[in-house]
Structure 1
Amino acid sequence: MIKVTCAIIVNADGLVFAAQRSATMSLPLKWEFPGGKIEPGETAEACLIREIKEELHVDIEVEASLPANTHQYPNVTIQLIPFVCRITSGQIVLKEHLDFKWLPKDELLALDWAEADVAVVRWYVES
């Protein structure tokens, strides 16, 4: 099983950040909360801070953790570990993703999410 973190980034207006995977990534054009694989010896929080800096060129602060979701894709099982975060500095620059949106919480489920993210989105929207 691969452990992967993801950031539910919320801005000052309460809008939530969603990133669209590029056509060259696995699960092309699906929406996701950005993040990445935890490296050996790395905490989930440190992983997320590093991944968001690499992928979006911003610094974040982790504010809360949410329940992890384990999802079985045809070729791999991942444990998705979500955190609610806020941007503390920088401007978003997409390094890997095709697009992004800031959405109200109640519009998140309208997107075509990566399968592992769906349970996280539902939990966040309903909590």
Structure 2
Amino acid sequence: MIEVCCAIIINEEGLVLVTQRSATMSMPLKMEFPGGKIEPGERPEACLIREIKEELDLTIEIIAKGQEVIHDYPAFSISLLPFVCRIVEGSLLLKEHAAYAWMEPSDLLNCDWAEADIPVVHQYLNPSIHLSSITNK
């Protein structure tokens, strides 16, 4: 099981950041919420802050934690932990992805998502799903 975290980054206008995987990545050109693999001994929150800085050159603040999604791909399984975030500083710079877009939440279902991200999209769009608030520690 690969442990991964992802960022649902929301801007001041309420738009959501989605990124497109590059042609050389697994699941090429699929849309995803940016993030990455959790290193051994690393807290998911620290992983996400590190990954977003490495991939997008952004400093983020985590606002809420979503519910874990387990997804089985044919060759591997992932545990995906989503977090709702906001940008604290930086200008978005793609270092690994092919493209990005700021989207209205109502348009998110129209994307060609990596399969594991689809339940995360539904989780974010469903107001009855509780997102746990994050307190600064």
Provide TM-score, normalisation by structure 1: 0.99
Hey, what's the Cα distance between the residues in 1 that align with 2:119 and 2:96?
23
Report what 2:27 is aligned to.
27
Letter in 2 for 1:88: V
Which runs of 5 or more structure 1 residues have no equivalent in the other structure?
A: none
State the alpha-carbon separation in 2 of the partners of residues 100 and 125 from structure 1: 20
Aligned to 1:98: 98
Distance 1:125 1:10 in 2: 13
Structure 2 runs not aligned, ≥5 long: 128-137
Aligned to 2:9: 9
| Letter in structure 2 aligned against 1:94 | L
CA distance in 2: counterparts of 1:125 and 1:33, whole angstroms: 14
Find the counterpart in structure 1 of residue 133 from structure 2.
Answer: none
- What percent of counterpart residues are identical? 59
Matched, 1:108 2:111: no
Letter in 2 for 1:11: N
Give the TM-score taking structure 2 as reference length: 0.92
Matches within 5 A, 1:69-88: 69-88=69-88
Tell me how far apart the structure 1 counterparts of residues 14 and 43 of structure 2 sit (CA, whole Å): 27
Counterpart secondary structure, 2:8: strand
Taking the aligned partners of 2:37 and 2:23, their CA distance within structure 1 comes to 20
Aligned-residue offset at 1:42:
0.5
What CA RMSD, in Å, does the superposition of the two structures yield over aligned residues? 0.5
Counterparts of 2:97 and 2:125 in 1: how far apart (Å)?
Answer: 23
Does residue 119 of structure 2 align to residue 119 of structure 1? yes
The separation in 2 between residues aligned to 1:40 and 1:72, in whole angstroms, is 21
User: Which amino acid letter does the alignment assign opposite residue 121 of structure 1?
Assistant: V
SS in 2 for 1:106: helix
Show structure 1 runs of 4+ deviating over 6 A.
Answer: none
Q: How much has 1:123 moved relative to structure 2? A: 1.1
Shift of 1:125: 1.1
